[in-house]
Amino acid sequence: MSDRVEAVKKLFTSKSSRVETNKGESYYQELFIKCEARLNELRANTPANRLDFADLLEENGIDRREFMKWASATTAMLMLPPMFTPLVADAAVMMNRAPVIWLELQDCAGNSEALLRADGPKIDEIVLDIISLEYHETLQAASGHQAEKQLEEAMEHFKGKYLLFVEGSIPMGMNGQYGTIGASGETFHDHLVRCATNAAAVVAVGSCATFGGIPAASPNPTGAVGVMDVIKNKPLINIPACPANPANMVGVILHYLLTGQIPELDSLLRPKFAFGYRIHDNCERRAHFDAGEYVEVWGDAGAQNNFCLYKMGCKGPMTFNNCSIVRYNEAVNWPIGVGRGCIGCSEPDFWDKYAYERPMADAKIKAPSGGVEKSVDEFGLGMLTAAGVGITIHAAASAVAGKREKSGESHE
Amino acid sequence: MNQGYKQVKRMTPAMRIIHWVNAFSMVGAVITGLYIGHPYYQTFMADGAVDKYIMAWNRYGHFMIAIIFDVTSVIIAYLYFFSRFEKPYKKLIPNGKNITEFKAVLVNLLTLNRKKEFDSSHADSFNTVYFTVFHLLLVWMLFTGLQLYVHGLGSGISSIGAWWPWMLHIATDWTIPVTGGSLMDVRIAHHTSMWLIICWVLFHIYYQVWRTIFWKEADIAIVIGGSKFVKEDTLKA
C-alpha cells in the first residue's frame, strides 16, 4: 500500500516543472552543515591534478573580489541562500578533486568548444579547466591503445566516484555501426554503457546528448537517441541547449561537489535551477510582447528599437532555460540580446519543432497524411475548404432534388 | 401556422443561453487565438509600450473566454447525465435503436431528404453524437490550452494560490506525451484543433439551416424560441 501511495505521489509531482525557491530555514541549515562536512572531507583528499585555482585566477587577471562576485552569482543561480556563498567559493577551489570522464559521441563538439574557446577564459571556464578531467576524447593528447588504457585506469581508480559527462547523441541504427570509437572499434552505444557502469552519475551535456538533438532531427538517418534512452539505471542529469551553457555545467558539478547529490530535476531530468522558468518569463523584451510591438522584417524600425521577436519566430514562450538571466560567455550576450529569436534549442525535438524561425502557425509541419508538408494554417484552411466544397455540393444537390419534388414526383 | 402542426419543446432557456454563450465565446476565442498564434495586426509604433497592451489584452480575452468555456462545459457535462428535460447520454449508448436512428438520419442527409424514416420531433442520435464530438473537441482545447497556460507559472505560485498551477499540472501534463512529446506539439495540437472546430461549426450551421429548409419543421427556431413544429400525423405514427 505504502509504495502505491508513493507511486501516486510521484506521478502527481514528477511531471511538474514547479521550482521551490524557498525551502525554509531549517532545510538550509541542515544542508549547510551537510555541505560543510562534505567539503572538509574533500579537503582531506589529495587533489587529482596539480592545477591550483588561485594561481589560475591570478594568471588570468581575476582578483579575489571578482571571484567572490562570481561565487555569489553562482549561489543565486543554484537557488541557494546567500550564506552558501563561501561554500560555493570553497567548492570551486576544490574542483580539482572532482574526477570527470568526458565522452564525445555523435555531435559537433560544440559543448567542449563552449567551455574552452571563450576569448578570455572567465571564471566558469577556469573552474571547468581545473576539474580533474581524466579522459576527454577531443582534448587528450593520447590516442589509440594509449587512450584506451588511460580510460581503463581512470575508471578503475575512481570507480563509483567519477562524473561521466556525455556530449553527443547515440546512433542506434545498424546496430550502432554509424559511430565507433577507439582502436577496437567499439560502438558509441557500448562505449557509453561501459563507461556509465561505474560512474557516480551521468551528465548529458548539450541537446544531442539529452534528446538526440540535430542528429535525431527528421528523418534521423542514424537512429540517434539521447543518453536517457540508453542509460536507465544511473542518476542522470540533462543539461540541454546548443551548446549547453558552461554556467549550468559548473552549477551541476558544484552542486554535486557541495552536496554529493544531483540537483533537483524536472520531468525531462533537467536541473530546475536552470530550466525551471521559460526564457519568455525573464526576457528583456517581454514588455514589447505584451504591448504587441513586434519586429515585422529584419532590420525594420521595430528591430532597431529592440521590439519583441515573436513574429520572427522566437520560441522563448515555449522554451525552458535560464539564458535570459545567465546569458552566455559570462553574461556578455545571448540570442535575443543580439536581435534574433530563440530557436528553443533546449527543448526536445527542437530542430524539427522549434527552429524554423517563423511563428508556429506559419511553420511547415507534417500533415497527418504524412509526406506532404503544410503549415498548420494552410492545413486548416484546406480542411475548411474541403468542408465548404462538400457542403456546397450537398446544398446544390438538395436544391435540385427539391425542385424535382415540386414538379410532381414527390415521394410523400 | 399551418393547421395540423404541433409545437414541440426542444431546448430549455438554460440550454439556449449556454448555446449562444458558447457560440459567441467560440468567435472570440478564434479571433484572439489567431492573434496569439500570429499577431496579424500591428500596433501604433509611436505610442510607448506602457500605453498599449495589445497582446496582453488578447491573451486576457482568450483566457477569460476559456474560463467561460470551462464553466459551461462542466454544466453541459452535468446536463448530459442529469438534465430533467432530456438526458443526451441516452442517445449516445450504441444500442440497436440508436444505431438504427443514427443510420436513418445519415441516410436522410445523404439522400437529400428523399428518405426520412425516423421521428424528427425529438433530438436524434446523429445530432447528439455530432454535438458530443464538439464538446470533446472543446474539452481537448481546454486541456491543451491550460497546459500552454501553466508554462507561464514556473514559479509554482499564482495570484489565486499555489493550488492552481499544481492542479493544472496534474490535469494537463498528460497532453505533452499524447501530442508528441514536446511543448510545441501541444501548441500545434491546440492550433490544429481550432481548425477542426471551425469545420465543425461550418457543417453545424449548414445542417441546421438545411433541416429547416427541407424538413419544413422550423428547426432553426429551436435555438431561439426553444421549440420546433412537427406535423401531427407524423407525430402519431
Tell me the C-alpha distance between A322 and A178, whole Å. Answer: 34
Mean pLDDT to the nearest integer, A175-183: 89
The domain segmentation of chain A, as residue ranges, is 24-274, 280-362, 378-404
Tell me the C-alpha distance between A338 and A146, whole Å. Answer: 44
Instruction: Tell me if ipTM is over 0.95.
Output: no
Nearest residue of chain B to residue A12 (CA atoms): B170
For residue A346, the distance in angstroms to the closest alpha carbon of chain B comes to 11
Mean pLDDT to the nearest integer, A386-407: 82
B114 close to A (CB below 8 A): yes
Question: What domains sit in chain B, N to C, each tagged with a CATH number?
Answer: 5-236 (1.20.950.20)
Q: Compute φ and ψ for A181, nearest 5 degrees.
A: -145, 150
Nearest residue of chain B to residue A302 (CA atoms): B45
Q: Do A278 and B203 touch (CB under 8 A)?
A: no
Range from A59-68, A123-132, A138-147, B216-225 carrying the lowest mean pLDDT: A123-132
| Under 8 Å between Cβ of A202 and A196 | yes
Q: How many beta-carbon pairs under 8 angstroms link A with B?
A: 159
Mean pLDDT to the nearest integer, A89-97: 83
Residue in B115, B191, B203 closest to A387 by CB: B203
pLDDT tens-place string over residues A48-73: 777 778 888 888 888 889 888 888 88
Residue in A291, A359, A387 closest to B37 by CB: A359
B237 close to A (CB below 8 A): no
Nearest residue of chain A to residue B183 (CA atoms): A318
Asked: is A24-274 a CATH 3.40.50.700 domain? The reply is yes
pLDDT tens-place string over residues A199-231: 999 999 999 999 999 999 888 899 999 999 999
pLDDT at residue A368 is higher than 60: no
Comparing CA positions, the residue from B127, B96, B92 lying closest to residue B11 is B127
**Mean pLDDT of all residues belonging to chain B:** 88
pLDDT tens-place string over residues B71-107: 888 888 888 888 888 888 888 888 989 999 999 999 9
pLDDT at residue A16 is higher than 70: no
| Under 8 Å between Cβ of A298 and A304 | no
Strands of A140-246, DSSP E: 163-167, 170-171, 180-181, 186-187, 201-205, 224-225, 236-239
Q: What is the pLDDT of residue A105?
A: 93
Q: What is the pLDDT of residue B23?
A: 93
pLDDT at residue B191 is higher than 60: yes
Tell me the C-alpha distance between A254 and A235, whole Å. Answer: 16
For residue B14, the distance in angstroms to the closest alpha carbon of chain A comes to 30
**Mean pLDDT of all residues belonging to chain A:** 84
pLDDT at residue B185 is higher than 60: yes
Q: What is the pLDDT of residue B181?
A: 82
Tell me the C-alpha distance between A22 and A80, whole Å. Answer: 8
Please report the sign of the dihedral spanned by the C-alpha atoms of residue A351, residue A214, residue A195, residue A252.
Answer: negative
C-alpha cell at A349: 525535438
Tell me the C-alpha distance between B39 and A362, whole Å. Answer: 11
B187 close to A (CB below 8 A): yes
Q: Compute φ and ψ for B118, nearest 5 degrees.
A: -155, 165
* Helices A25-44 + A246-259 axis angle, to 10: 90
For residue A365, the distance in angstroms to the closest alpha carbon of chain B comes to 9
Q: Do A294 and B39 touch (CB under 8 A)?
A: yes
Phi-psi region of A182 (alpha: psi -120 to 50; beta: other; left: phi over 0): left
Reported confidence tier of residue A345, pLDDT bands at 50, 70, 90: very high
B60 close to A (CB below 8 A): no
Query: Where is pLDDT greater, at A108 or A55?
Result: A108
pLDDT at residue A359 is higher than 90: no
Q: What is the pLDDT of residue B45?
A: 65
Mutate to test the interface with A, among B40, B45, B183, B196 (most CBs of A within 10 A): B183
Mean pLDDT to the nearest integer, A398-403: 80
| Under 8 Å between Cβ of A238 and A252 | no
pLDDT at residue B200 is higher than 90: yes
**What CATH superfamily classification does A280-362 receive?**
Cytochrome-c3 hydrogenase, C-terminal domain (4.10.480.10)
| Under 8 Å between Cβ of B184 and A360 | yes
Q: Do B38 and A359 touch (CB under 8 A)?
A: yes
Q: What is the pLDDT of residue A405?
A: 63
| Burial (0-12, 13-18, 19+ Cβ within 10 Å), B63 | middle
C-alpha cell at A233: 539505471
pLDDT at residue A255 is higher than 50: yes
Residue in A18, A315, A360 closest to B37 by CB: A360
Q: Which letter does DSSP use for residue A46 in this model?
A: P
Reported confidence tier of residue B231, pLDDT bands at 50, 70, 90: confident
Q: Do B55 and A384 touch (CB under 8 A)?
A: no
Q: What is the pLDDT of residue B143?
A: 94
pLDDT at residue B153 is higher than 90: no
| Burial (0-12, 13-18, 19+ Cβ within 10 Å), A71 | buried
The helix, strand and coil proportions of chain B, stated in percent and rounded to the nearest 5, come to: 70, 5, 25
pLDDT at residue A159 is higher than 50: yes
Nearest residue of chain A to residue B209 (CA atoms): A395
Which residues of chain B make contact with A296, given a CB cutoff of 8 A? 42
Tell me the C-alpha distance between A265 and A14, whole Å. Answer: 9
Residue in B58, B176, B182 closest to A353 by CB: B182
